[in-house]
Chain A
């Protein structure tokens, strides 16, 4: 028997054994341990990649205008969040005035996580974070950046890591509302390549360019009033009962290294 045939038998044996043990979940603890052990270096390599990406962007564009864009983007993020918070506070205040015995809404804790890896295909938008079910995370929880910019939700969970599907991924759907309205007006669907579209917005809904879209709070684990994006173009078809709008994200997810997962306080691990 030649060396190659022996090697082939060993490889096939390994593949079959690994698949069987994986499918029967016998290897699950070991797999979780390996994933956990690999994640710190994954976070470092992602940071290096993001750094190279930023530097490359700065080299290709005029650095001065880039700084201005970054500064304006930061201001936009803060203003959007402030605007939403202000509206939310105003509304909350009115409700409190109206209603005695008001029960304060369940609060959320933020679990900070590092990005370990990102999807390679440009049309898909996923990333893996270094927090998982052991940290109290669950599928469907909202992932945010900064004070309240919604960037996606958890779609797959392991013990110590989780996969986040970003708003721009074609499989992503999130219920939206206009700031201060607290009612569902449509959905934001990912379109790939960093773009998203607000769909199923009724024709009678009054939306304008530069309106801030926020989460509606109708999804179980996603709180209301998280900024999803700004409307930058509206498509109206007179024969269609719904209109659509292009969404401009307020944060560039390609450069994020640290994010936060919103965890209802009731689910906080011991």
Chain B
């Protein structure tokens, strides 16, 4: 990555971290379902910017871990592991860059995050007697729904504005656009 890209990724990661770690608790209630870090990670992987995705996961996780009022349960580790899982998935399972593929990755990311959260909750609260507070599972459904909307907007914006992904395939070409 170029220096300017590092700067952009770093700024974006800080913004996302401050949003999820600090601003979210003060915003009106309906914002609680808008958690942009994981959709943004998937978006980075869709753009083949895996380094940027790991940086965003690490930096925004650090910000949330340090300034969140409620114990976040080592969210840096959680998001880095989710980024690793998505990296594997997009390299070996969902190899095409499609809207449906990105939705599937969003679902996998949220489920992976949920499972890791439960594991951390068990370790913190039953082994170390910590105060980590887990969100109700039912909360994850609207969060996932918003994730899908966010990832769709990001995917379609890039498709339409930069022609990076094929939005349709001309009749005279085969299904792979060649």
Contact surface of A with B, Cβ cutoff 8 Å = 3-4, 7-8, 11, 14-15, 18-19, 31, 34-35, 38-39, 41-42, 45-50, 52-53, 56-57, 115-122, 124, 126-128, 161, 163, 254
Bound together, the chains give a CA A120 to CA B22 distance in angstroms of 9
Interface size on B, residues (CB 8 A): 33
| Closest chain B CB from A38 CB (angstroms) | 5
Most buried by A among B23, B29, B88: B23
Question: Are B74 and A19 in contact (CB-based, < 8 A)?
Answer: yes
Q: Which residue of A lies closest to B19 (CB)?
A: A45
Cβ contact of A42, chosen from B22, B28, B74, B76, cutoff 8 A: B22
30 contacts between A and B (CB under 8 A): A3-B50, A8-B84, A11-B80, A11-B81, A11-B84, A15-B77, A18-B76, A31-B66, A35-B66, A41-B22, A42-B67, A45-B18, A46-B22, A46-B25, A48-B26, A52-B27, A57-B28, A116-B22, A117-B21, A117-B22, A118-B25, A118-B69, A119-B25, A120-B24, A120-B25, A120-B32, A124-B70, A126-B69, A127-B69, A128-B68
Question: Are B91 and A4 in contact (CB-based, < 8 A)?
Answer: yes
Judged by DSSP, the binding face of A is helix
| Closest chain A CB from B24 CB (angstroms) | 5
Question: Are A45 and B22 in contact (CB-based, < 8 A)?
Answer: yes
| Closest chain B CB from A8 CB (angstroms) | 5
Cβ contact of B69, chosen from A47, A53, A163, cutoff 8 A: A163
Question: Are B70 and A49 in contact (CB-based, < 8 A)?
Answer: no
Contacts of A161 in B (CB 8 A): 67
Most buried by A among B26, B62, B63, B88: B26
| Closest chain B CB from A239 CB (angstroms) | 34
Q: Which residue of B lies closest to A35 (CB)?
A: B66
Question: Are A49 and B22 in contact (CB-based, < 8 A)?
Answer: yes
Instruction: Take A49-B27, A127-B25, A128-B68 as given contacts and tell me if A122 and B133 are in contact as well, using a CB distance cutoff of 8 Å.
Output: no
Contacts of A116 in B (CB 8 A): 22, 67, 69
Contacts of B22 in A (CB 8 A): 41-42, 45-46, 49, 116-117
Question: Are A121 and B135 in contact (CB-based, < 8 A)?
Answer: yes
Contact with A along B111-138 (1 / 0, CB 8 A): 0000000000000000000000101000
Contacts of A39 in B (CB 8 A): 67
Contacts of A14 in B (CB 8 A): 80
Contacts of A121 in B (CB 8 A): 70, 133, 135
| Closest chain B CB from A139 CB (angstroms) | 13
B87 within 8 A of A: yes
| Closest chain A CB from B26 CB (angstroms) | 3
Question: Are A34 and B62 in contact (CB-based, < 8 A)?
Answer: yes
Bound together, the chains give a CA A142 to CA B63 distance in angstroms of 27
Contacts of B43 in A (CB 8 A): none
Q: Which residue of A lies closest to B92 (CB)?
A: A4
B103 within 8 A of A: no
Bound together, the chains give a CA A194 to CA B78 distance in angstroms of 30
Question: Are A117 and B84 in contact (CB-based, < 8 A)?
Answer: no
| Closest chain B CB from A192 CB (angstroms) | 11
Instruction: Take A11-B80, A14-B80, A19-B74 as given contacts and tell me if A49 and B24 are in contact as well, using a CB distance cutoff of 8 Å.
Output: yes
Instruction: Take A38-B63, A38-B67, A39-B67 as given contacts and tell me if A124 and B28 are in contact as well, using a CB distance cutoff of 8 Å.
Output: no
B155 within 8 A of A: no
